[in-house]
Structure 1
């Protein structure tokens, strides 16, 4: 049996950040990762370039049953702290849009940076190592049997992630473990995920797969303006991924197809300047031609602008600015970037991530009921939560 100060289950973003932070303080720290390598989500993120943070991060960019929970950790470890580490390791990066920072080269550099920091601090990282049994012997006394041996730890950190992208090894292990220790787990569902259409709704758009354009997606009082992508099964793109976290089956979802424009003014202006132009020709000035044609095949009459009465133009404008989408579901965890829900934050300390029920037990990262928007926010939560936990574990 190996005695350690900190045993961390999960070698993802939160787990590695916690490990290097704790080990820098002189704590004997071991990370066990059941996959064959650490940081798999980091490696695949941002198209292989890792959207590692967002400079505009605020608590308002997160969903949680307890919206105040993330404030403390985010305030104490900001994007600029992580950027300092990135720059110290001379990793070139750029801002893509809306504060999103990406590596110029490869996400492998972020994983290497974290591993180099762990190595320098003396962290032991074990891959292809599964947890077989956990015994709670008493306060701050855990015995964890793994395929690499048994560990006796004073602190046990659960950083095992959520259910998203099971092909990379995602499981519900962290939720099951939380329940065995008496913790409540908020219902989970796929977040930042493409929406699916069915029946007539799908048939009308399926052959437009690949068409992309800017929209504003609106649902349950939230709005996101960005690209929409038509897929063979439904809708994707940043605006849809964002709104998917706020949508559930049966909820009203509408799109503004002309974001930032006055649709009525757009149509009446063209009626005056181009009275003989067909409606689809006019719409094709603001929308992809194929989508404009489909609008006029299914939803709008395709006739010369001069033949539209003022009430008809107002009706057309209303459709363009509140275009209804009847989604049947989502693509599920298979393609979801994150998992909504998780370990109930009311039973955790917001400053340390420690369980209020079991001393020495901590939960960090995606396993917790804190979920960020698309655009680097989830990584920033992982860094902040991991750092808060690593700083708090008693030496």
Structure 2
């Protein structure tokens, strides 16, 4: 990675290589063995030595995290092949959250407790009182000076607290928009507007993966704060478990369901790769591949765990809103470097689905075009 690109990452919270949605599956035998721990970690995979003609390791990422449900051994076999093909060695699986654990209704009760003032008597759309914490933009004040760590706070503490004494509505909860705008439930709303257990589980999977990035950086002695003009190393890559990447991803340097070329590309010959361009992010959808600087991971975590904001919408839309509001500094590569393979059906949606819009030139796993309907 060029020195100029490293300097750019020093100013960046999020680098969107593409964007993704986590697909959640479960089986009764796996469900019976689940725990209610805040997060569960798995072991490293050590790939065999690769031939010298293989692509070089993606050394601009210090560590990669693959969010995956433990029982999806079929997907994990493909991820093993993907990491082997790209010679990525420092990576781990991060166990995703099952939507049918007792944790998810608990989180939904906490979300409803934040909405206790919601009243649609006179208006179908209401904006509840909302404010970001005063110190959310000041990362040094929230880092424990002695341990260089970020203490658990906000919605991260919900799993260890009693369930709020509020009733869930008979209808589905509706995803919040903007900061805290709520629309009255209607059967005519598109399914992606419903706050389902699957979407809450996806949010939890991402939040705990980002927490893991922060904790791993802290344990490694990485500075979690950003000093103006100082380059941040130790960039973390977070992936979903059904992705494929361009074979020559290192030479190229995505996005989904949005025009990420809305903003002009970064006009710097040292930053624009030969085949892909780097654009300031506009409203990237999905989250199946993204990179976080150490300070960026802290910043994202603090936003996602803010109680009136946490778990109240799809996690990819939470990212999109924070980027649109310029609370996160993010850049997107166009065209995408990583896409979902779309070879299996997801149960994150209630019904229907869509054809994936993007494609790869030549994926490591053989993907060259969009997948089946999901």
Query: Smaller-chain TM-score range?
Result: under 0.3
- Structure with the bigger percentage of helix: 1
- Name the TM-score, length of structure 1 as normaliser: 0.21
Q: Which fold has the larger relative contact order, with Cα–Cα distance below 8 Å and residues 6 or more apart in sequence?
A: 2
Give 1 or 2 for the bigger CA radius of gyration.
Answer: 1
- Name the TM-score, length of structure 2 as normaliser: 0.22
